[in-house]
Amino acid sequence: MRKILIVDDSPTIRRMVTASLQNLEDVSFEEASNGLEAIEKLARDRFSLMILDLNMPDMHGLEVLRFIGTHAQYRVVPVIVLTTRYDDDSRKTALSHGASLYLTKPFQPAALREHVASLLESK
């Protein structure tokens, strides 16, 4: 079974992402409400993919991306950044720090599902 880690400080967004991806086969979900919690979960378990917000308390999403980039065992995990930040600088920075994809909120559930399925298949 493949595991997806959904990292967002909003419980509503975490539920919406999970609901959007429920139809994917052989997938389970884990949630984290901030970057520090995400790193703790990465250290304890293996994930096939991460969906990561940028603007969070305790640890910004870009800091999570930097952490992942400095540890070889985590670099293999594709990361989809899902954020309210529409600016080009945020997108370029996230992608340069290892994000596989940069999407903005509000998101289209079908499009998110397609992107996730594609990244999981390519793994």
Res 123 pLDDT > 80: no
Q: In what order do the strands lie in the sheet with 101-104?
A: 27-32, 2-7, 49-52, 79-83, 101-104
Q: Are strands 101-104 and 27-32 parallel, antiparallel or unpaired?
A: unpaired
The domains of the chain are located at 2-122
- pLDDT tens readout for residues 21-41: 999 999 999 999 999 999 999
Distance (Å, whole) CA 121 – CA 99: 17
Res 18 pLDDT > 80: yes
CATH architecture of 2-122: 3-Layer(aba) Sandwich (3.40)
pLDDT given at position 58: 87
Q: Are strands 27-32 and 49-52 parallel, antiparallel or unpaired?
A: unpaired
- pLDDT tens readout for residues 90-111: 999 999 999 999 999 999 999 9
Distance (Å, whole) CA 82 – CA 122: 20
